[in-house]
Structure 1
Amino acid sequence: MILRKLSIINYKNIRETSIDLSPKMNCFIGHNGAGKTNVLDAVYYLSFCRSLNNPIDSQVICHDEPFCVVEGTYDDEHENEEHIYCGLKRGVKKHFKRNKKEYKRLSEHIGLIPIVVVSPSDTLLIDGGGEERRKLMDLVISQYDRQYMTLLTNYNNALQQRNILLKQENPGPDPTLLQIWEEQMAEAGEEIYRRRSAFVTEIQPLFQQFYTQISSGCENVGLEYLSHGQRGPLLDVISRDRAKDLAVGYSLHGVHRDDLIFTLGGRPMKREGSQGQHKTYVIALKLAQFELLKRTASHTTPLLLLDDIFDKLDAGRVEQIVRLVSGDAFGQIFVTDTNRTHLDAIVGSTASDYRMFEVDNGNIKLLTAHV
């Protein structure tokens, strides 16, 4: 999928812009806070019907403005045109349309325009809790597996109902109702576990290949999936410790406790390595996601968004990343940086199309273009 034209009105600090994009490399240069990341966030919104960093829709609308609009005109793999429209108005349900036809459910849109984002907030994948790493799995799998979001919804609903029952006192929850919700948790949870396990199995070799290339083979990294689903039938795992769950008032077992274990040299990544090694790990993981989506998401090449990725990386790793993303393996790329040297290195190493934009206080200006 290629985004040919992006139009924005009142999205964060971008008041109004309409830009024609390169089918290969699009670079955005500007100071911190200028609005570079907001451009990428608008592109992300058109894929996921929400902002990358802010779950509250009303907060993506420019201050003192009543509405915002983001529109994208795309070409698919067969050069068919796709037009995506999103309109937000304060206090009103948002409108999301594909080729002027409004979606009944936003979940129908997920996966049409697969996307991978590498951003500074990715450090939470290493420093944060298991929730961040579960989100990572869910975000990727939902782009190529249409049933996955329904499974997550069913599981989370059953989990919520079970937790409500577990908090009941005098005389306590009805065992029959607990059993019903446990069975529903287990039914959806088994499928979620199976899909997450398959995802990790597929992404492991891709991840290690990218890490080896970026680090020039200097380090040994690992990626392991940890789940209560590995302990046997999930219904048994959930129900056998019911007494403990009643004592604490919530569910201690299930796929909502899944995690990914990141290692460097056989030790937990969280306690090992430099900031540069942490960043290399995350970038390699995201590039592996890109390769996996390219193979699975309706055979559509994802968009790749690289937001300020070169900070804290040594020159050797920057060079390897530039070489990677400038090659033919990737499709359309959006990259931001405060340092034009990095962006010049990227466009200088590719013979394909590129466009260089300057972003200043939400205003976007084309600097250079090569066709």
Structure 2
Amino acid sequence: MHLNKISLLNYKNFEDASFDFDGKINCFVGKNGVGKTNVLDAIYHLAYGRSYFNPIAMQNIRHNQDFFVVEGEFEKDDRSELIVCSLKKGQKKILKRNAKTYEKFSDHIGFIPLVIISPTDRDLILEGSEVRRSFIDSVISQLDSPYLHKLIQYQKVLTQRNALLKYFAANRNFDQETLVIYDEQLDVLAQPIFEKRRDFLEQFLPIFNEYHQTISNSSENVQIVYQSHLSQHGMLALLGDHVQRDRALQYTSVGIHKDDLSFEIDGHPIKKFGSQGQQKSFLIALKLAQFEFVKKQSGQKPILLFDDIFDKLDETRVSKIVEMVDNDAFGQLFISDTHPERTEAIVKQTHQSYKIFNL
């Protein structure tokens, strides 16, 4: 799997731009604000149908313009694949594969395996549980479309249950029988989602630990702990036990939508006890493990986006990453960096073909 060419029209700061890529390493260098990360985000857009950095779709349209178009020519299994993502103000976003429009974006997820490593990944450590759930769901969904469809359905039923709780509060009444209808639907969906997350982490953690030991020279002991209400009780029982609380709060307070991952270093939360360098190593290992897991499960080397990865990493850790690139563990790479000389020196160490784009 690799991307041969991308074209951007009115995408973020680009009016009209095209890039022809090397099959191995591609580097975007230049000062902050010139659009290096935007090119990486455009590539991400073609894989996921959305931006990695800005969830508000309209804000990805260039200022004073009415639309954007991102077009990518991929090669997968010796076949050419043309992916186009476009958005016009006042209309729905459109995603096409070989001129055929997807009815549901979820049907496209996983077709282009891709992993991004970015400074904004720090949100996985610093922000709330929703960000970490989104990470685990994103990895599983790339490989398991029924899982993604269950997640979407769970969210729909959850929204309906929450709306019913608000209706009860507004009208000062309560109908247990109606609520139980939603409880039973959530129960059917929650258990397989919980089991899939649990089973995924059992396979994922050894890969994560191996990458972390490589990057950190085995100097730190890290762990990821899965926290879920369903590890102790079934969904139906949980909802029944918390019904009075849910009525008071007017939303569903328990369930797999509250699951979390605890990131730890030496038995303590890395958010509080990890240095900036340790946190960054943890996150890079996390994303490289995602890459390895997807590669093993799909039989494809995902496209790997390194956004400003070499900032704040010491030379030892950078050299470890370069070593992995040189061993041909990765497929096609895209790198952004503010220092052209540093970038070229690093990619030359890999003995792989490369292109550098000065923006």
TM-score normalised per structure 1: 0.93
Alpha-carbon distance in structure 2 between the residues aligned to 1:104 and 1:272: 46
Alpha-carbon distance in structure 1 between the residues aligned to 2:342 and 2:279: 20
Deviations 1:228-282 (A, max 9, x none): 1101322112222211221222211100110001110111111112100000000
Displacement of 1:49 in angstroms is: 0.6
Alpha-carbon distance in structure 1 between the residues aligned to 2:326 and 2:261: 30
RMSD between aligned residues: 1.3
Whether 1:290 and 2:310 are equivalent positions in the alignment is: no
Alpha-carbon distance in structure 2 between the residues aligned to 1:161 and 1:101: 33
Displacement of 1:68 in angstroms is: 1.4
Q: Is the 8 A contact 1:322 1:345 kept in 2?
A: no
Which residue pairs with 2:144 in the alignment? Answer: 145
Displacement of 1:55 in angstroms is: 1.7
Q: Is the 8 A contact 2:3 2:73 kept in 1?
A: yes
Alpha-carbon distance in structure 1 between the residues aligned to 2:302 and 2:136: 16
Which residue pairs with 1:184 in the alignment? Answer: 185
Displacement of 1:165 in angstroms is: 2.2
Alignment of 1:232-251 (within 5 A): 232-251=233-252
Alignment of 1:1-371 (within 5 A): 1-76=1-76, 78-167=77-166, 168-169=168-169, 170-297=171-298, 299-359=299-359
Matched pairs, number: 357
Q: Is the 8 A contact 2:54 2:60 kept in 1?
A: yes
Displacement of 1:24 in angstroms is: 0.7
Give SS of 1:335's match.
strand
Deviations 1:290-340 (A, max 9, x none): 00011123x222110010012222221122122223331100010111122
Displacement of 1:171 in angstroms is: 4.1
Give SS of 1:112's match.
coil
Larger CA deviation: 59-68 vs 255-264? 59-68
* Paired residue type of 2:26: N
Alpha-carbon distance in structure 2 between the residues aligned to 1:154 and 1:284: 31
Alpha-carbon distance in structure 1 between the residues aligned to 2:142 and 2:184: 27
Displacement of 1:183 in angstroms is: 0.9
Q: Is the 8 A contact 2:25 2:333 kept in 1?
A: yes
Q: Is the 8 A contact 1:231 1:237 kept in 2?
A: no
Q: Is the 8 A contact 1:326 1:346 kept in 2?
A: no
Larger CA deviation: 317-326 vs 109-118? 317-326
Q: Is the 8 A contact 1:22 1:355 kept in 2?
A: yes
Moved over 3 A (4+): none
Alpha-carbon distance in structure 2 between the residues aligned to 1:345 and 1:155: 49
Displacement of 1:9 in angstroms is: 0.9
TM-score normalised per structure 2: 0.96
Alpha-carbon distance in structure 2 between the residues aligned to 1:39 and 1:171: 52
Displacement of 1:156 in angstroms is: 1.1
Alpha-carbon distance in structure 2 between the residues aligned to 1:312 and 1:352: 24
Give SS of 2:78's match.
coil
Structure 1: gaps of 5 or more residues? 360-371
Give SS of 1:309's match.
coil
Give SS of 1:329's match.
coil
Q: 1:342 to 1:189 in 2, by over 3 A?
A: farther
Deviations 1:53-93 (A, max 9, x none): 112222111111122111111111x2111111122211122
Give SS of 2:352's match.
coil
